[in-house]
Amino acid sequence: MFKATIKSLLSRKLRLVLSALAVVLGVMFVSGSFVLTDTLQRSFTDLFSSAFANVDVSVAPKAEKGKEPEPLTPQAIADVKSVPGVASAVGDVQGSARPIGKNGKVITTSGSPRFGFNWTGTGQEKIREGKAPAAENEVVLGGYLATTGGFKVGDDISLLTLEPKKTFKVTGIYEYAGGRDSLGGELSVAFTEPVAQQLLLGKKDVFSGITVTAAQGTSDDALRDAVAAKMGSGYDVKTGAVLAKEQADQINEGLKFFNYVLLGFAGIALFVGIFIILNTFSIIVAQRTRELALLRSMGASRGQVIGSVVLEALVIGLIASIVGLGAGIGIGALLAKIFSSVGGTNLQLAGIGVPMSAIISSFAVGMIVTVIAAVMPALRASRIAPVAAMREAATPDRPLTKITITGALVAAAGGTSLAFGFNQASLPLIFGGILVAFVGVALLTPILSKPMVSLIGRLLSWSMPGLLGRRNSARNPRRTAITAAALMVGISLITGVSVVLTSATKSIEKLATGQLQTDLIISGEGQMEGQAATFKRDVLTKIEKTDGVKSAVGWSQDGVLQGENQLFAVGVTDMPAMATMFALKPKSGDIKPLKDGQLALPEEMAAEKGWTVGSTVTLQLAKAAAPQNYTVAFIWAKSQVLQGALVLPESASAQFRSDQIAQAFVQVSSGVSAADVQKRVEPLFADNPEITVQDRSAFVKQTTSQFDTVLLMIQILLALAILIAVLGVINTLALSVIERTRELGLLRAVGMRRSQVMRMITVESVVISVFGAVLGLAVGLALGIATVQALKDQGISEIGLPWMTMAQYLVVAAFVGVIAAILPAIRAARLNVLDAIAYE
């Protein structure tokens, strides 16, 4: 039996390749994500151990919870120096510094930091060309900043620090060990020490940390203990090795999330792969009916027949897993290479590693998925009566009642789980529900395929080849349905996401036009990253005095501690004006200017905390010496534009990390055009290119444009699922072509041209693809609308349907159908007529 199975496998190489391909792709994605993250993790660990290579021990002020750490004084450095075993102790100054490019715009990175520090000459930075900064107006640039911004020694560069734009002369460019431009894509610049202190820490003679090196014969650990003992509890004293590990762990935590995302998409790809493998095995078993029945008539037991199919699956799974693992290692290595060179990270890759997790998951996934997919057709194959071998007739259509009822039940179960998931905000229930719902819909597709395929086919069957293609696609509803269902999964996920994002966009637009009564919005970059650019208070005063401005409100923002909880707070300059602009309605209390020691908050936050007007709330502000009590002055009714923020009086801003204005809103006088006022306000920010002045529609556009990026990324990741589905279409068509060899021979014999044969196969392919797309759009719409309904409380109040995008998916699906048909069609057209007619 074993021999018979292997022989049968080898005799049909095409079949083997086609059924293995889907598994290969899925396994490739899984192992590729493991290899990629493993390689990156080890590379980052290497990077940070080299970055802290010349730090034996580091001293930093300890930050109390919710408070800004006090910077170090020169006395602290002297203290460290006095510890026995210290060879050197150098004060470090570091803080945010954003360079302005030659085009006048702030240079941004994709997440890597932008900072400035004091040039000490003792760090690991080495001057590559030029010389160290000596005068107040001199700086040296990191190699990466120099190349990104196109700066050369002798050029001028403008920088934004705690102070507005300042211009410096570039005296030199530095690099890191090995001639590297940067450690990890960061943009850095070094000043003389006094300038660094003033611009980065805001005070003369303070430091943000101390780098200590050990004298000969003193171990890092011993030195750390000695320094810690001397400095006392107000300082964090760590060895360079620990610091390197902390930083690497932090990055790796981010990579882990990245890995989960990749694995999630690999899971989707495999899920789609199961459809394909299932279908392939069903078709193969159907085609082997005679062979299997012959085995049974010669005395093979049912168990042996099942065993033979499962064995075939195991062999295919094994080969596919090996190939997939190999391909995954290749893809992982390639992606790591791309990752390390994009964005100037110049990350030196630690050798490509193949972690155990990649190997185990590859084989587990590849073999298990394939065997699961093969068991069902195997069970069916074992039920074939031996007499079927003698019969010419193909297996008759089985009734669809059972599969339809099962499908309806499974879909209902999936829907219920989804509903519960949304209700309980439980992600496992939601994802499980979606998955189960997909299976249910897939089981329902055969019954849908009859009317829908004939409807779609009618549009394409104006000629005889078209008619034949359409009839062929309606011929085996299960086969067509499963093939289409594989395509459905990818398209419905994209459609669902697209519906949610379109709805979010629409909701924001409606909100902005309906509730936001401001004409101009002034905000800095980085609102999302939590380190928003800010501007000085006196600029707001100038705005208020600008011609045509009716009122202007601004706030500074910071995180404050209430017990253990971090809350977001804003210090507003003019509370009543803000209430007007944001159309705030009082829920309890009156909206009045806030006095010192008063606060206001939104209804839902008050409900969550159980605070009412008059409640006392104790808050720790970053620069305040101790927690202070605030009284709730009023609570405003739920608003979509201002939520999740405590409002404090303007005076509280002084105790924020920065008291500068983070966002400001302007209402223009009636009869004045916002555009004119915008032109008059913009010059006030000439030296602050991180701040933009936008009218309402531009602001909305900017806010919603991030959704496009999200959608694009999801589309790219789901492209793999769609690619596998396309393989499924190719697979089904190729196997159908083999199955219908004699029919094709007959058609050719009675005069069908090769081009007509190809057209016939193409129509069948397009019908299947469009059917899958239509299903996917329908399911995606349902999923999307359900999600939007569930997110109603989160502010998505409108349902927006992405008609254009959906139309695009439909066109893409038709195109995919044409592409998928190419190879099977060529194969069909090339058939030798005589051989085909005589085909058994």
| Residue written as token pair 């390197």 | 244
151 in Cβ contact with 145 (< 8 Å): yes
Residue of 213, 756, 787, 805 interacting with other proteins (CB under 8 A): 756
Which residues inside 658-697 make contact with other proteins, applying CB under 8 A? none
752 scored as a contact of other proteins (CB under 8 A)? yes
Question: DSSP labels for 804-826?
Answer: HHHHHHHHHHHHHHHHHHHHHHH
CB of 41 to other proteins, least distance (A): 56
Q: How many Å apart are CA 733 and CA 480, to the nearest integer?
A: 10
Residue of 751, 793, 803, 804 interacting with other proteins (CB under 8 A): 751
Q: Residue 368 or 749: which CB sits closer to other proteins?
A: 749
74 in Cβ contact with 205 (< 8 Å): yes
CB of 813 to other proteins, least distance (A): 24
* 721 three-class SS: helix
Choose among 364, 380, 401, 363: nearest CA to 278. 380
Tell me the sheet residues that pair with 635. 588, 601
Q: How many Å apart are CA 671 and CA 662, to the nearest integer?
A: 28
Q: Residue 247 or 736: which CB sits closer to other proteins?
A: 736
Residue of 177, 338, 368, 464 interacting with other proteins (CB under 8 A): 464
609 scored as a contact of other proteins (CB under 8 A)? no
746 scored as a contact of other proteins (CB under 8 A)? yes
780 in Cβ contact with 499 (< 8 Å): yes
User: Helices then strands (H, E): number in the chain?
Assistant: 23, 22
612 scored as a contact of other proteins (CB under 8 A)? no
Q: Residue 183 or 821: which CB sits closer to other proteins?
A: 821
399 scored as a contact of other proteins (CB under 8 A)? no
From the list 14-22, 124-132, 178-186, 464-472, the region that binds other proteins by CB under 8 A is 464-472
Q: Helix 477-514 crosses helix 240-287 at what angle (to 10 degrees)?
A: 140
Burial (CB < 10 A; 0-12, 13-18, 19+), residue 13, is: exposed
Residue of 165, 510, 537, 754 interacting with other proteins (CB under 8 A): 754
Tokens of 14: 């095409």
389 scored as a contact of other proteins (CB under 8 A)? no
Question: DSSP labels for 16-56?
Answer: HHHHHHHHHHHHHHHHHHHHHHHHHHHHHHHHHHHHTTT-S
Q: How many Å apart are CA 404 and CA 174, to the nearest integer?
A: 70
In the stretch 408-447, what mask flags binding to other proteins with x, by CB under 8 A? Answer: ----------------------------------------
Q: Residue 610 or 751: which CB sits closer to other proteins?
A: 751
Q: Residue 236 or 743: which CB sits closer to other proteins?
A: 743
Q: How far is CA 84 from CA 60, 79, 207, in A?
A: 19, 11, 22
CB of 839 to other proteins, least distance (A): 9
Q: How many Å apart are CA 159 and CA 484, to the nearest integer?
A: 56
CB of 398 to other proteins, least distance (A): 15
Q: Name the helix (H) or strand (E) containing 567.
A: strand 565-572
345 scored as a contact of other proteins (CB under 8 A)? no
> Cα torsion for 140, 144, 149, 153, to the nearest 10°?
40
The length of the chain, given as a count of residues: 840
Half-sphere exposure of 204 (CA within 13 A, CB side): 0
Q: Residue 463 or 616: which CB sits closer to other proteins?
A: 463
* 236 three-class SS: strand
840 scored as a contact of other proteins (CB under 8 A)? no
CB of 457 to other proteins, least distance (A): 11
Q: Residue 547 or 835: which CB sits closer to other proteins?
A: 835
Q: Residue 27 or 735: which CB sits closer to other proteins?
A: 735
Q: Residue 302 or 742: which CB sits closer to other proteins?
A: 742
Residue of 206, 539, 747, 783 interacting with other proteins (CB under 8 A): 747
CB of 834 to other proteins, least distance (A): 5
Q: How many Å apart are CA 750 and CA 765, to the nearest integer?
A: 23
Q: Residue 152 or 753: which CB sits closer to other proteins?
A: 753
From the list 37-45, 351-359, 620-628, 745-753, the region that binds other proteins by CB under 8 A is 745-753
Q: Residue 344 or 745: which CB sits closer to other proteins?
A: 745
Q: Residue 611 or 839: which CB sits closer to other proteins?
A: 839
Residue of 229, 390, 654, 749 interacting with other proteins (CB under 8 A): 749
CB of 394 to other proteins, least distance (A): 8
Q: How far is CA 131 from CA 116, 152, 194, 196, in A?
A: 17, 12, 18, 17
Residue of 528, 625, 750, 804 interacting with other proteins (CB under 8 A): 750
242 scored as a contact of other proteins (CB under 8 A)? no
CA angle 149, 154, 155 (to 5 degrees): 35
358 in Cβ contact with 325 (< 8 Å): yes
Strands (E), 148-229: 156-160, 166-175, 187-191, 209-214
463 scored as a contact of other proteins (CB under 8 A)? yes
450 scored as a contact of other proteins (CB under 8 A)? no
Q: Residue 349 or 746: which CB sits closer to other proteins?
A: 746
CB of 833 to other proteins, least distance (A): 5
CB of 828 to other proteins, least distance (A): 14
Q: Residue 302 or 471: which CB sits closer to other proteins?
A: 471
290 scored as a contact of other proteins (CB under 8 A)? no
CB of 471 to other proteins, least distance (A): 4
Residue of 465, 490, 554, 602 interacting with other proteins (CB under 8 A): 465
Choose among 535, 572, 528: nearest CA to 551. 572
The radius of gyration of the chain from alpha carbons, rounded to an integer in Å, stands at 34
826 scored as a contact of other proteins (CB under 8 A)? no
Q: How many Å apart are CA 502 and CA 135, to the nearest integer?
A: 54
Q: Residue 167 or 463: which CB sits closer to other proteins?
A: 463
In the stretch 466-485, what mask flags binding to other proteins with x, by CB under 8 A? Answer: -xx--xx--x----------
Q: Residue 282 or 461: which CB sits closer to other proteins?
A: 461
From the list 12-20, 114-122, 458-466, 787-795, the region that binds other proteins by CB under 8 A is 458-466
Q: Residue 750 or 804: which CB sits closer to other proteins?
A: 750
834 scored as a contact of other proteins (CB under 8 A)? yes
CB of 391 to other proteins, least distance (A): 12
Choose among 699, 691, 574: nearest CA to 641. 699
Tell me, by CB under 8 A, how many residues bind other proteins.
24
Q: How many Å apart are CA 324 and CA 20, to the nearest integer?
A: 10
Which contacts of 16-21 are long-range, i.e. CB under 8 A and separated by 24 or more positions?
A: 16/316, 16/319, 18/280, 18/730, 18/731, 18/734, 18/735, 19/277, 19/280, 19/281, 19/284, 19/316, 19/731, 20/316, 20/319, 20/320, 20/323, 21/320, 21/727, 21/731
Q: Residue 507 or 736: which CB sits closer to other proteins?
A: 736
753 scored as a contact of other proteins (CB under 8 A)? yes
CA angle 615, 619, 623 (to 5 degrees): 150
738 scored as a contact of other proteins (CB under 8 A)? no
CB of 485 to other proteins, least distance (A): 23
519 in Cβ contact with 553 (< 8 Å): no
Half-sphere exposure of 673 (CA within 13 A, CB side): 3
374 scored as a contact of other proteins (CB under 8 A)? no
- For other proteins, the binding residues (CB under 8 A) are 393, 463-465, 467-468, 471-472, 475, 742-743, 746-754, 756, 833-834, 837
